[in-house]
Amino acid sequence: MTATPALLDCLEIPTGPNPTHAVIWLHGLGADGNDFAPIVPELRLGSSPAVRFVFPHAPVQPVTINGGMAMRSWYDILVTDLVRREDAAGIRQSEAAVRALIKRENERGIPTSRIVLAGFSQGCAMTLHTGLRLEEKLAGMIGLSGYLPLLDIATSERHTANADTPIFLAHGTFDPVVQLERAQASLALLQSLGHDVRWHTYPMPHSVCAPEIQDIAGFLREVLAASA
């Protein structure tokens, strides 16, 4: 039996006392949990249920495409096109770490059905990878400027629990880091499997913009209300 991984260090921001919902937000390569913390007040969730935003810090490890420099990373990046060679072992290790964070929210009284999994870039990859395989339904998934890794085996490994879970996918049309075509290939697979994908593009590079934040807020209000 695989041992449960040690819980990752996290920054936590509740929007009110006694949160009934949670958003676990995974950062991108070389960043940390503080990267998206400023987005919480910008979402202006207002009358939505109280939410615990959880921003975990990925482990520090060498990254091949960055000359082996050690940085926070959910898995190793081996080639610039991201998918010709993939760090399957690293991806699965981080999947276990994300599952452990979901389990902790369950133990704190928040069922998986009231959890949104979100992420940017590598964090998006881990959101989609983990969310498709979870045995319990999530409230929603948010994937920003990323892609679905291990694309060729995602269909055979996915679980039906999140077959109709709403998925917010967004990408910049000028993204030089994760090419738009990579995200479109992920979108095409998800749509072919019947997933409820809300696809958005914005005229931006590998980043986040104000209209996108407004769209994320609308999506969050929808799925939080639906799961309340």
Count CB-CB contacts under 10 A for residue 70: 11
Instruction: Give the CA angle between residues 44, 46, 47 to the nearest 5°.
Output: 155
- Alpha carbon 130 to its chain centroid, in Å, reads 8
Instruction: Give the β-pairing of 10-14 and 51-56.
Output: antiparallel
32 counts as catalytic: no
**Catalytic residue (choose from 121, 145, 186, 227):** 121
pLDDT higher than 60, residue 2? no
196, 206, 207, 215: the catalytic one is: 206
In this prediction the pTM is 0.96
Residue 228's pLDDT band (boundaries 50, 70, 90)? confident
**Rounded mean pLDDT of 181-195?**
96
Question: Which of 171, 175, 195, 227 does the annotation list as catalytic?
Answer: 175
pLDDT digits (tens, 9 = 90+) for 37-66: 999 999 999 877 999 999 999 999 999 999
pLDDT in tens, 61-98: 999 999 999 999 999 999 988 788 999 999 999 999 99
Active site residue 121: yes
